[in-house]
Structure 1
Amino acid sequence: MPREDISDLVAFVAVANERSFTRAAARMGVSQSALSHTIRKLEARLGLRLLTRTTRSVSPTEAGERLLVTVAPRFEEIEAGLAALRDLSEKPSGTIRITATEHATNTVLWPKLARVLPLYPDIKVEIIIDQGFTDIAAHQFDAGVRLGEDVEKDMIAVRIAPDLKLVAIAAPAYLAGRDRPTIPQNLTAHRCINLRLSTHGGLYAWEFEKNGQFLRVRVDGQLTFNSTPPIVRAALAGFGIGFAPLDMVQPHLDTGELIELLPDWSQTFTGFHLYYPSRHQNSPAFRIVIDALRYRVGA
């Protein structure tokens, strides 16, 4: 429908509801003559008289009444929808969908959001655990969480955690009677616990760095998981060497349940970042979530 037709229908509904050109013109902020001209154009286009005019009153004809019953509720629905959107822009409410790894969810997202969400009961957060690199636009997520190095250049990135170190670990029971690896390449002679990246389906190649030398090693073993916590549990049970974030395994290193291997080859990554497509017109709810998650040194 041409835009002028919609404007003419809006004008008709105003006059029919007010039963007065004068009051309708005042409500719409137009002159009475301009409004009368609009209604005459609409009637000419439809080939029907829509309003009966007298010197004292204005009332819809039969055709006008049928048109009013048809279009007026639609305009009311549109106005209500726009009002709801205005409320959404002013009041922190709505659902924020985030895709993140299990580790990021457990160590960053949940601890921070748990402190803030009780203050905003109308904000809903949906977190989807995913070890892969989900296309947030294609899957209708508001944001995702990745290590800083993995965020695409066209995304806005907000740091939400300090730098992260990945370490090779094993239980004393597994290492008993075996030669410990001294360089990453030695891992190919060991039973290792693999991580499968769910989005691409491939196995994660373990990453190492020493004195500017970067290595990726593809390992093999009896077990493969698609998230890190089960890898740590399997390593604790002596099923092989695992590869996990240092902060996740530090308590087990402190107790001696696990032993760190190749410590001089452990690579540091630029921590978890929340990423999303645009800075423009973000809802108050989304801005609150970003502020709650934002990493602050010393906080």
Structure 2
Amino acid sequence: MSIFPKRTLRGSQVTIHWNFNTATLTETHIVPYVRIGVYAPNGQLTLLHDGHILRLPGLPAGTPAADVVMQTLPKSVPLLVLADYLSGRQARAALVDMLRGIHTGRHYYFTYPVPPDAPLGKYTLLSEVYVDGQVRYSGTAADDFFLVEELQLGPGETTPTGGLVATLTNSGPESVPIRVVDYQPARQPTTASYVREVPAQGALRVESTAAQCFVLYNEEREVLPIALSTESGFLRNQQLLSLDKEVEGQAVTYVLAGEADEAYELSGPSREVWQRADGLAVRSQLVGSALQTAYQEMLEAGLIQELPR
């Protein structure tokens, strides 16, 4: 079985791939009883499938089939499924059998909705195939799990050296890997990063010497900015095309307004606001009434947008 993603959040969805390969079934037992489900950390079982599945046996190997181009329908198996098999802990012989079974098997995809109030921790998959009083389990049982995690970031503070510091709290029963990214805005922005783990039901103090710092977790999909305030950042409208030109020795930026032939001409304060609108800068960093006036006009015109943190 394969699970995507392996780390997720409350209120999300997890996709489970199950390869139904019954090459060893006899013609007598071609309708096995199948149970597929998810065990939450508190032991609660949610069944995603509970019933019989018909599996007709194929032709023996080497059996000629006249005027037949294909004996099975093509399967659109995601590459992530193959990558998941290859990264597992199975023995080489077992892995070869699994890869062969991908072609001959029947692929099912189940969706498990993670409740908004789901318990944090490790969720284990159930895979049972009953045939003639015997039960067969998943060949990838050691890897058949996913994790629901959540981190809380405390308020950012300034260090004596002018850097940033904040505390991450993990209330879950499993450790959470994070990537800390230091970002130094400049004409040529620079970044530096390192990886840590927030211990189970513990905390981790994160320090940065950069002007801005971000904590990435949940396979880097979730981003927590370490900030001294919750002020919104401002960003150029990414749906608009801009062109930089020099007119009579002055730098000018033209912003095309959609499909119309009109364009905004930005110079002086308005161009400075546009240049600084990278999504990380905040309005309070714009000093002076000229920049503040240009900001408000560009915001009302839809040239820039505010992004809540």
Shorter-chain TM-score tier = under 0.3
Q: Please, what TM-score do these two structures have when normalized by structure 1?
A: 0.21
Q: Please, what TM-score do these two structures have when normalized by structure 2?
A: 0.20
More helix by share: 1
Larger radius of gyration: 1
